[in-house]
Amino acid sequence: MIGHIRELITYRELIWNLTLRELKTRYKGSILGFFWGLLSPLAMMLVFTFVFTVMMPNTQVENFPIFVLTGLLPWNFFTSGVMGGISSVVANGNLVKKVYFPREVLPTASVLSSMINFLLALVVLALALLVFGAKISPWIWLLPLIILVQTVLILGIVLFLCTVNVFYRDTLMIVDVVMLASFFLTPVFYPIDILPKNYDLWGVTLDIHRWVRILNPMASLITAYRDLFYYGYRTEIYFLLRTIATSIVFLGLGYWFFLRFSGRFGEEV
């Protein structure tokens, strides 16, 4: 695997070119172009704010627009990275058949393009923070680390799923349904603190609050973003370290799985 990583580094220029191509293709023919990456989260923020402050008044969450935006942006990064990366190998079937290059270049470029969109969307968040006067944590310097951890997590998931998608094309539809369910199971538009810490299920008492953060890495990541941008204090190091370890495990297993079957991609695509 170390040899493959070294080879991948030598193809870094190709990764960058494919990342730019992915960005240009995504907004090809669009009048607003990259600005859609800024307007989309703003529109979703307004919708959620209207629903939960006007139609269903929520007095428990102060400064709700900032609260929901700090959850939506990382979640959009996660969904766009995963859903876009799943088809990265199949969509480039002609390239896979004709030219030799490390196949992992394709999902890597796809995930990096989603990361760049996320960084652009952070401009919207910065403006919203100024408008609403939100608290910014002195631990804001941890932000690049959190973005890196999320990118590693997404890449690990994508390496696994894009491999499965080469052999089973139903993967994209199945993951789409799973993503919808995961959206409601992740504290995107509600605070994680409302989850019960003592819930009786078939005679067993469960700490739902804790288990969601343990089993759902995105729950911990969104909480970390909110700690920095919304609550204004240091994120919990324990859960951040767990998420870092989880992301590395996902990347390692996903890359191993990808390498094991990548030799058959030319036959299947």
Does the structure show a pLDDT above 60 at 59? Answer: no
Q: List residues bridging with 205 in a β-sheet.
A: 200
How many domains does the chain divide into?
Answer: 1
What Cα–Cα distance (Å) separates residue 198 from each residue in 141, 205, 207, 214?
Answer: 34, 6, 5, 16
pLDDT greater at residue 234 or residue 170: 170
Contacts of 84 by beta carbon, 8 Å cutoff, 6+ apart = 22, 110, 111, 113, 114
Contact 192, 213 (CB under 8 A): yes
Does the structure show a pLDDT above 80 at 235? Answer: no
Q: What mean pLDDT do residues 244-252 have?
A: 94
Residue 194: pLDDT band (50, 70, 90) is confident
Closest CA to 26 of 91, 95, 104, 84: 84
Does the structure show a pLDDT above 90 at 77? Answer: yes
- Domain around 132: 2-268
| pLDDT-wise least confident of 35-44, 126-135, 214-223 | 35-44
Residue 239: pLDDT band (50, 70, 90) is confident
Residue 222: pLDDT band (50, 70, 90) is very high
Please write the tens of the pLDDT for every residue from 258-267. Answer: 999 988 888 8
Q: What mean pLDDT do residues 64-70 have?
A: 86
Three-state secondary structure string covering 221-250? HHHHHHHHHHHCCCCCHHHHHHHHHHHHHH
Please write the tens of the pLDDT for every residue from 84-134. Answer: 999 999 988 888 888 888 889 999 999 999 999 899 888 878 888 887 777
Please write the tens of the pLDDT for every residue from 149-166. Answer: 999 999 999 999 999 999
**190 φ, ψ to 5°?**
-140, 150
Residue 29: pLDDT band (50, 70, 90) is low
Does the structure show a pLDDT above 70 at 186? Answer: yes
